[in-house]
Amino acid sequence: MIPYKILLNEHEMPKQWYNIQADLPNPLKPALNPQTHKPLTPDDLSAIFPMPLIMQEVSTERWIDIPEEILEIQKLWRPSSVHRAYNLEKVLGTPARIYYKNEGVSPAGSHKPNTAVAQAYYNKVSGIKRLATETGAGQWGSALSLACSSFGIECTVYMVKVSYHQKPYRRSLMEAWGANVIPSPSDQTNSGRAVLESNPESMGSLGLAISEAVEDAANREDTNYSLGSVLNHVLLHQTIIGLESKAQMEKVNEYPDVIIASCGGGSNFGGLAFPFLYDKIHGKDIQIIAVEPSACPTLTRGPCTYDYGDTAKLTPLVMMYTLGHDFEPPGIHAGGLRYHGESPLVSQLVKDKLVEARSVGQLGVFEAALTFTRSEGILPAPEAAHAIRTAIDIAQECKESGEEKTILFNLSGHGHFDLSAYDDYLAGKLDDYEYPEDAITRSLENLPKIDL
Ligand SMILES: *Cc1c(COP(=O)(O)O)cnc(C)c1O
């Protein structure tokens, strides 16, 4: 019998990351300098990123060695287990076999430390003393705070003001790891002060918090910027998820027919899916699904075009699916899935039809989350529950058709800091929300005009 938990030993941890840029059928379009609109050079990035990460960002080498110092820290929780969801299968009465990779076991509670530790390491060896970043729901800020404390560097986190007040315990966690947490908009940066002047009551947005952190890093010699998703090097570091999962599935002679992960900026999705996409690009028949909220439908309703990564237009222009850089997502509870853009790598793969995108509503997501909690025991992060919703949908289709599909999804994090969202759901206070078409059209009117 296949065990409930498929485990790897520490010596079986992957020693290299997989870089999908080596295998893309159509290469990425270059990122552009936000002022000149000319292709970005490594120099453009060196004010805020260390050179090893800039080189990884543009590398087309298929395999990139993972430094031993990174693996040593990640052994605190890695390799993470793959679970066979026997109890969920039983509740659903499905002939499908459901597996999930549990990334909620890291100290910060999500997959995000996989890249945070790598980024802190490369900054440390490049002589950087302090990192600035933003956080929405607090997952990324926690991950980077943990990573910085592991390597003895300072960490400043601009936290979207609405979350700063709604999620005080995420802030406590960051402070426990020694980080300095500032509500955004703040009076510490030009971008923040400009917003406060026009709207003192502003509750902030992820795009604005990014502007503040980038400005902070650009203005200080000892400080770099760090981003938790979207960028190529972030998705590269996350491929440890899929590489481990592949080895774990092999151990029990299984190979997934369907791979599912939630998609905000694309990092947990890319992390799980890219090592399997290698096989798909080389002819294997697998269905690979990225799931997003219907309230922030970047991949399913946005165009794929050049756009800025932030509100103040400080970041490079990248080719991606986007809802427009000044899109303001509604306050749904999956805070990690509220970004207006999407990873260029995931965007290219969706455009090339190697990846399928779906959107799901909030109520169905929480219903699936509780079905999972009441069968498998783990309370998932609302973000992760988007993948659970889709896995359950496919398992139910299998029940009707009698197909015995093998499904693998990413449990990207636990929901212990999201209990107020569960409270609201259980009290019947949540709604489904479809982003209105005219609001999307309006925000797309401000897309930069680039001659392609
Ligand atoms: C941040 C986060 C996400 C979304 O970010 P991606 O970069 O798309 O993975 C998903 N799940 C959890 C638990 C997160 O913390």
Domain with 387 in it: what CATH number?
3.40.50.1100
Q: Is the shortest distance between the CB of 413 and ligand 1 below 6 Å?
A: yes
CA-closest candidate to residue 132, choices 191, 82, 196: 191
Residue with tokens 């010596």: 11
How many Å apart are CA 296 and CA 414, to the nearest integer?
21
Ligand 1 midpoint to CA 75 (Å) = 21
Report which protein residue has its CA nearest ligand 1's atom 15: 139
Instruction: Give domain status of residue 326, yes or no.
Output: yes
SS3 call for 136 = coil
Can you give the pLDDT at residue 51?
97
Q: Is the dihedral of CA 398, 404, 409, 411 positive or negative?
A: positive
In whole angstroms, how far apart are CA 99 and each of 4, 149, 285?
Answer: 9, 33, 18
Within 10 A of 103 (CB to CB), how many other CB atoms are there?
29
Ligand 1 midpoint to CA 391 (Å) = 17
Instruction: Give domain status of residue 220, yes or no.
Output: no
Q: Is the shortest distance between the CB of 189 and ligand 1 below 6 Å?
A: no
| Type of residue at 164 | Y
pTM of the full structure: 0.97
Instruction: Give domain status of residue 266, yes or no.
Output: yes
Instruction: Give domain status of residue 452, yes or no.
Output: no
φ and ψ at residue 180, rounded to 5 degrees: -100, 115
Phi-psi region of 156 (alpha: psi -120 to 50; beta: other; left: phi over 0): beta
Can you give the pLDDT at residue 227?
95
Instruction: Give domain status of residue 161, yes or no.
Output: no
Can you give the pLDDT at residue 331?
64
Report which protein residue has its CA nearest ligand 1's atom 10: 383
Domain range for 333 is 5-12+67-109+232-444
Ligand 1 midpoint to CA 8 (Å) = 24
Q: Is the shortest distance between the CB of 345 and ligand 1 below 6 Å?
A: no
The 8-class DSSP code of residue 213 comes to: H
What is the full per-residue pLDDT of the chain (452 aa) written as tens digits? 999 999 999 999 999 999 999 999 999 999 999 999 999 998 999 999 999 999 999 999 999 999 999 999 999 999 999 999 999 999 999 999 999 999 999 999 999 999 999 999 999 999 999 999 999 889 999 999 999 999 999 999 999 998 899 889 999 999 999 999 999 999 999 999 999 999 999 988 888 899 999 999 999 999 999 999 999 999 999 999 999 999 999 999 999 999 999 999 999 999 999 999 999 999 999 999 999 999 999 999 999 999 998 888 888 999 999 999 888 777 667 667 878 899 999 999 999 999 999 999 999 999 999 999 999 999 999 999 999 999 999 999 999 999 999 999 999 999 999 999 999 999 999 988 888 888 889 989 999 988 76
Total of domains in the chain? 1
Residue of 139, 240, 333 best suited for mutating to test ligand 1, as the one with most atoms within 8 Å of CB:
139
Report which protein residue has its CA nearest ligand 1's atom 3: 336
Q: Is the shortest distance between the CB of 336 and ligand 1 below 6 Å?
A: yes
Q: Are 175 and 141 in contact (CB under 8 A)?
A: no
Ligand 1 midpoint to CA 136 (Å) = 11
Q: Are 144 and 154 in contact (CB under 8 A)?
A: no
Q: Is the shortest distance between the CB of 412 and ligand 1 below 6 Å?
A: yes
Ligand 1 midpoint to CA 403 (Å) = 30
Instruction: Give domain status of residue 212, yes or no.
Output: no
Ligand 1 midpoint to CA 198 (Å) = 31
Pairing outcome for strands 406-411 and 258-262: parallel
How many Å apart are CA 388 and CA 412, to the nearest integer?
10
Residue of 101, 160, 268, 388 best suited for mutating to test ligand 1, as the one with most atoms within 8 Å of CB:
268
Can you give the pLDDT at residue 338?
77
CA torsion, points 420, 425, 428, 432, in degrees to nearest 10? 120
Residue of 412, 414, 417 best suited for mutating to test ligand 1, as the one with most atoms within 8 Å of CB:
412
Instruction: Give domain status of residue 306, yes or no.
Output: yes
Instruction: Give domain status of residue 259, yes or no.
Output: yes
